[in-house]
Copies of this chain bind each other. A is one copy, B any other.
Amino acid sequence: MVDQELLGTLRQELRRGSVVLVCLLALRDPNYGYALVGILESAGVETDANTLYPLLRRLERQGLVSSEWITDDPRPRKYYRTTDTGIEIARLLLDDWSAISKSIEQFKPGGRG
């Protein structure tokens, strides 16, 4: 019997670090928050506006994304874009991700381990 609260905490922990990486990669194409929620969901990463919006603001404070209001559309929207620093950080995080991925593949049931 799996403790759902514990599972929720572990899932959140697992996602927290990796969603940053996904956002930095995805926002090389500028987009607005709500669209990004949809993009992540269609890529299989469950998230919601309440999680993502504060994350985008944090990434902006950290200089990893920048934002710009686009007012051409009937509804003005704040578009985020990964900065050069953000792209460099994403590249370094991808190396870590690859190492972790390989070890998970190695240890998982039916893996090489």
Interface residues in chain A, defined as those with a beta carbon under 8 Å from any beta carbon in chain B:
1-3, 6-7, 10-22, 25-26, 40, 43-46, 62-63, 85, 88-89, 91-94, 96-97, 99-104, 106-109, 113
A15 touches B104 (CB 8 A): no
Q: Do residues B94 and A18 form an inter-chain contact, with CB atoms below 8 A?
A: no
Q: Is there contact, CB below 8 Å, between A22 and B94?
A: no
For A99, give its contact among B6, B45, B97 (CB under 8 Å).
Answer: B45
Judged by DSSP, the binding face of A is: helix
- B103→A97 contact, CB < 8 A: no
Q: How far is the CB of A80 from the nearest CB of chain B, in Å?
A: 14
Select from chain B the residue with minimum beta-carbon distance to A106: B43
